[in-house]
Chain A
Amino acid sequence: MKVLVTGASGMLGGATARALAARGDEVTVFQRHAAELGLREVLGDVADARAVARACEGQDAIVHLAAKVGVVGTAPQFTAANVDGTANVLAAARAHDVARVVHVSSPSVAHAGEPLVGAPAGPADPHGTIGHYPRTKAHAEQLALTAADERAVVAVRPHLVWGPGDPQLIGRIVDRARTGRLALIDRGAALIDTTYLDNAVDALVAALDRAAEPSVRGRAFVVSNGQPRTVAELLTRICRAAGLPAPTRRVPLPVAFAGGAAVERVWAKLERTDDPPMTSFLAEQLATAHWFDQRETREALRWTPRVPLEVGFDRLAAWFADHPER
């Protein structure tokens, strides 16, 4: 199968491209800068319709991960990357009659701050979300699933993917811990689902293979390890894997929330493009349960997580041991 993977410079995109290539698919990757994966590469911006169309030519399937993530940026920037980018992918799929599209989405497209306790994958709702990223991703998912009328489209929403070498979640936590700036919000007792990288890759591959099945096509699936842990435990395990002490400082949620809001204003004023250390959204995310009902996902995709969290943390520790500079 000829598969195009967009956004392969990210951890999950790169790993997915490698996994598909490893099993014999003809993989093309598409992103702005060379990803050095040793695979056929088309460079370009997902917001550039012509570049996307060029990359989709002759493909049997697309795994669409390219997106603008985080909290920094203007609404038009998020819309261009996430909504227009997805529209471009779907248009190119139509133009080149690409049979399958796996649209990688986010659980945040359906939620807005309430505790999620064994939550099902609700419909994407741009109006119910808070922040540019969830809102534009919700729009994008709606676009993608509408296209399921004409081809095998499925949306997959992995929750908090992490793994060895991850500069996003793991990298930031470790950075902050190393500089003594890591604190627990409230008691750190909220249960949070995460997804070990290999399991997320498996789920995307399973979604690609099953996209045409009636129980999969046109639907959205949340993917996680199905092993929610408290925030306190997750942060402690990550710190330990990196050989760092566990966080001991605690910040009450109202303080973190207010601090995050202040930081956001400062960042906006300074027009900074790096992610701020704390945002009100992040403060709330870290104080609120987020875990999901995995039964439908596992049944429809015939997928279960291969790597338990414990093994994942062991691998993380081994990676840090091999990369003392990180």
Chain B
Amino acid sequence: MSATAPASLPPEGLPGLDPAWSRLVEAADPDGAPRTWHVLDTHHTPAGTADGDREAPVGTLLCVHGNPTWSYTFRDLLAEPPPGWRVVAVDQLEMGYSERTDQSRPLARRIGDLARLTSALELTGPVIPVGHDWGGPIALGWALAHQAQVAGVVLSNTAVHQPPDAAVPTLIRGARLRGLLDAVTVRTPTFVRGATALSRPPLPRAVRDAYAAPYATPARRVGVGGFVRDIPLDADHPSATTLDAVADGLRELAGVPVLLFWGPLDPVFSDRYLHDLEARLPHADVHRAEGASHLAPEDADLAGAVARWLAARVDLDRQHDVEALTRPADPDPDARHGADHEDDLDRTPAWAAILDPARAATDAIVEPSDPTDPVAGPHRISFGELADDVHALAFGLHRHGVRPGDRVACLVTPGRELATLLYACWRLGAVVVIADAGLGPRGLSRALRSAAPDHLVGISRAMAAATALRWPGRRIAASDVGPRLARSSGAATSIPDLIADGAVALADGDGRPDTLLPPPPSGEADAAVVFTSGSTGPAKGVVYRHRQLEAQRDALAATYAIGDDDRLVAAFAPFALYGPALGITSMVPAMDVTAPSTLTATALADAVVATDATLVFASPAALVNVAATAGDLQDHHRTALAGVRLLLSAGAPVPAELLRELTGVLPAAEPHTPYGMTEALPVADIDLATIDAVGLGRGVCVGHPVPGVEVAISPLDSDAATGALTSRPHVTGEVCIRAPHGKDRYDRLAITELASSRDEGWHRSGDVGHLDADGRLWIEGRLSHVITTADGVVTPVGIERRVEAIERVTMAAAVGVGPPGTQQVVVVVTTDPRPGRMQLAPLSLTDRVRDAVDVDVAAVIAVPSLPVDVRHESKIDRVEVAASAAELLAGRGRRRGGRP
């Protein structure tokens, strides 16, 4: 098929494409033949218009598309370029609206083509190549040839190498089958159409058509087939050498900022390819845009990400400065092992209390009695036994191939086994990955794919899911996994086997774990990736270093004066793990920890009896059920419960009435509730007496910041945008936190991290609140739930608390309806008795709501139930509430509900 055609301009009317960007540029190709390119260019001045006084750009983003797309992929970047930057997006030759030459263009030639085009464009000054799909190697090839000019690199869903453990993507393999290739890519639009069908969420038809527009006929698609043919699947391929050279050349970019912007749902360039690039570019900022697929620039906000990343990372005055690029994640985790850092001198590692010989005979962990054999009583493990198990498991893991810096997913129920595993991993220098089963299979899949553990330790439920859902990581079975499941799930070993193996090996050695194990990790080494609850969007991985976990332990001990005389019953998963680090006896009561409301008063009391506990930590949902089942308590329970000095209710706001009710169950306990989040805990603390003393205010009072924590407010303007930090009282804004036990960073969410740590050293919590004159923090809601009315911003929690004080109202959500900036406040309530369906509240209740609050409430709606999160069963999804309220209050119109 002979197919030459000149370059042309795209037709008008393609969605999101400004015709003023389009230009045709002539450049000689490597053979000296003049070729015409179609290029989108923000700094193109169409003929006949005045050049104006446009300032020279500070730099240029040079965007290179893949196959079978065209420069259209980058239109959002052209529409909203980073301030001061020029954006040039090319249509490669044979592609898009550039010239069809009827020549084959292998990789090397395409890299050369691009260099000649940039010469013709006279691209001087700093350039950041942006490559998507097979545009990646071409953009990188250009970068390696123009290193003096390269100020950064952005790559999206691309590859420079076929990882040995990755099968060739099915789609590519299918397209490459002899005889099929031309049929799929050239003779029919299957491949062209297939590319846009991958997009998530699905693209509007007009956009899909725009992607396919330059590839309408077989003659226009010759280049598409050529591109697929040029993928070097084996070493003999003509382009293999070039691709290898590009891959090997990446080490030369060690001084250049790199952003890897990834769509995780990509069936072609899966996470394997991301990990390959991460290994080659260890200093890269990695952002996995959850929910996005192969066309990540289309599915996710690449323009916003590039702008934020450029502002934070690219310093045009300090190009090629390796020092300037030292980023939180050290490229060489091994360098962090060996406790020879200066700051390690007065550090107490997480596992230190377990190893303390003075404690060896004390109970470390108590487990509830086996319901089938209650006579045996609770099972007790001493600190000495735990220390032996931790050492044995650490050594067993090490012998199994777990290396310092490896990630180990710990899908194990809180209790002895999980504690042993965590402290063994930490001693070994492995990084634990912790995700709550409450995320559900889908949420867990997302979390684990993003964290990409090297090893996965799971109880039977987790192992079955890991097989079915193809979670990453070499499998290690927990003790409850039977041999059949262990086999079917591919588990090479188990925790009990590793402990046994490690114990034997230690005994066979000199018996001194510290000489046989690798040196312990330094305080700077990564210790954990903990996933958020996902109640506010997809769960995010939060990375902690050892010194941050240690600071968290110390903050808990200081805040609650925890000492050797304390014993802990923890019905709240994160806290259950801290007992051994604090050096105190701990126990998880008989309950399903993933379903807090399964905790009964009797189960709690049995645990308190078994440990003679002084501390009880639980979530509000658990405590609600404790209060509800308090009637089942017997005398010996009540005696033991009277010895508890502190009741900590954590995880969500706690109604004061509930705490008061519980003083009947725990008469001597001082009820406290900490405020914090996965990224920083604890931040503040309040006791019941203070809750009662401060009364109703604008929000919920969460008390003073705990020792070592600083809280500042980033004030909200009328659009709910946030400004410079302040500690002035009564100013409402985003709550920002600085603490030695705050998170280190978000994992593979570089853009989210840059946004959250906009003020260096501070974490933006996403919560909105204010400080009062006494320095106490009040939480007024989530930033994403702020209501922007024409009269200013309104926060939900203060309204909700006042409404919930109205008789018969059981729960309230204050939401905004209408466009941001001119929203109306609507209050949605559950009542006793419950309404059968969503409906307008009676006017009498509406009047009482309006009397109770100080903002104009447009409507009050009663619903049978409000949507709450799985983990805490108390955080209201106000976004969902707002959507259903808006629908009810919009009524039915000609264009929405259809013609009546």
Contacts and interface: CB of A to CB of B under 8 A. Distances in A.
B819 A189 contact: no
Interface in A169-209: 186-191
Interface in B415-460: none
Contacts of B858: 191, 227-230
Nearest to A228: B858
Contact of A191 (B824, B839, B846, B892): B824
Contacts of B892: 115, 186, 190, 253, 284, 287-288
A298 interface: yes
Contacts of A30: none
Interface in B828-883: 839-840, 843, 846, 850, 856, 858-859
B822 A295 contact: yes
Contacts of B846: 233
A13 interface: no
Contacts of B888: 187, 189
B823 interface: yes
Interface string A262-287: 00000000000000000000011001
Nearest to A257: B900
Contact of A113 (B824, B856, B859, B893): B893
Interface of A: 112-115, 117-118, 186-191, 226-233, 236-237, 246, 253-254, 257, 283-284, 287-289, 291, 293-295, 298, 308, 310
B821 interface: yes
A114 B889 contact: no
B766 interface: no
A271 B313 CA distance: 76
Nearest to B895: A114
B893 A114 contact: yes
Interface residues of B, number: 27
A108 B891 CA distance: 17
B478 to A, nearest CB: 52
Contacts of B818: 117-118, 291
Given A118-B823, A189-B888, A295-B821, A233 B843 contact: yes
A145 to B, nearest CB: 23
Contacts of B891: 115, 186, 189-191, 231, 287-289
Nearest to B824: A228
B861 to A, nearest CB: 8
Given A191-B824, A288-B893, A293-B819, 20 more contacts: A113-B895, A114-B893, A114-B894, A115-B895, A117-B890, A189-B840, A189-B888, A191-B859, A191-B890, A226-B790, A231-B891, A233-B840, A283-B900, A284-B893, A287-B893, A287-B900, A288-B891, A289-B893, A294-B790, A294-B822
Nearest to A254: B900
A188 B896 CA distance: 17
Contacts of A113: 893-895
A230 B822 contact: no
B824 A291 contact: yes
A293 B822 contact: yes
A177 B415 CA distance: 68
B817 interface: yes
A117 B859 contact: no
B886 interface: yes
Nearest to A230: B859
Nearest to B856: A227
26 contacts: A112-B894, A113-B893, A114-B893, A115-B895, A115-B896, A117-B818, A118-B824, A187-B840, A188-B840, A190-B890, A191-B891, A228-B858, A229-B858, A230-B840, A230-B859, A231-B891, A232-B840, A233-B846, A236-B843, A246-B843, A284-B893, A284-B894, A287-B900, A288-B892, A298-B790, A310-B850
A179 B888 CA distance: 29
Ranked nearest first, the 10 interchain pairs of A and B with the lowest CB-CB distance are: A190-B891, A113-B894, A118-B818, A114-B895, A115-B890, A293-B822, A115-B893, A288-B893, A118-B819, A118-B822
A272 B647 CA distance: 77
Contacts of A191: 817, 824, 858-859, 889-891
A113 B890 CA distance: 12
Nearest to A284: B894
A15 to B, nearest CB: 24
Contacts of A253: 892, 900
Nearest to B894: A113
A310 B846 CA distance: 13
A159 B819 CA distance: 19
Nearest to B718: A295
Nearest to A289: B890
B839 A289 contact: no
Contacts of B850: 310
B518 to A, nearest CB: 61
Contacts of A233: 840, 843, 846, 859
A141 to B, nearest CB: 22
A233 to B, nearest CB: 6
Nearest to A226: B790
A187 B900 CA distance: 15
Contacts of A254: 900
A117 B840 contact: no
A83 B886 CA distance: 37
B777 to A, nearest CB: 32
Contacts of B843: 233, 236-237, 246
Contact of A190 (B790, B819, B823, B889): B889
Contacts of A231: 891
A294 B821 CA distance: 10
Nearest to B826: A191
A254 B850 CA distance: 33
A229 B846 CA distance: 11
Contacts of A115: 890-893, 895-896
A293 B840 contact: no
A154 to B, nearest CB: 20
A231 B889 CA distance: 10
Contacts of A257: 900
A229 B840 contact: no
A254 B890 CA distance: 16
Contacts of B890: 115, 117, 190-191, 288-289
A114 B891 CA distance: 10
A186 B893 CA distance: 12
Q: Which of B822, B859, B895 has the most CB of A within 10 A?
A: B822
Contacts of B894: 112-114, 284, 288
A293 B789 CA distance: 10
Q: Which of B790, B824, B846, B893 has the most CB of A within 10 A?
A: B893
A89 B90 CA distance: 58
Contacts of B893: 113-115, 284, 287-289
Contact of B900 (A117, A188, A190, A284): A284
B150 to A, nearest CB: 45
A187 B819 contact: no
A232 B790 CA distance: 24
Interface in B354-378: none
Nearest to A246: B843
Contacts of B824: 118, 191, 228, 291
B276 to A, nearest CB: 48
Contacts of B790: 226, 293-295, 298
Contacts of A236: 843
B436 to A, nearest CB: 37
Nearest to A116: B893
Contacts of B821: 293, 295
A298 B821 CA distance: 13
Nearest to A236: B843
Nearest to B858: A228
Contacts of A118: 818-819, 822-824
Contact of A117 (B819, B856, B895): B819
Contacts of A284: 892-894, 900
Contacts of B900: 253-254, 257, 283-284, 287
Interface in B449-500: none
Interface in B116-164: none
B825 to A, nearest CB: 11
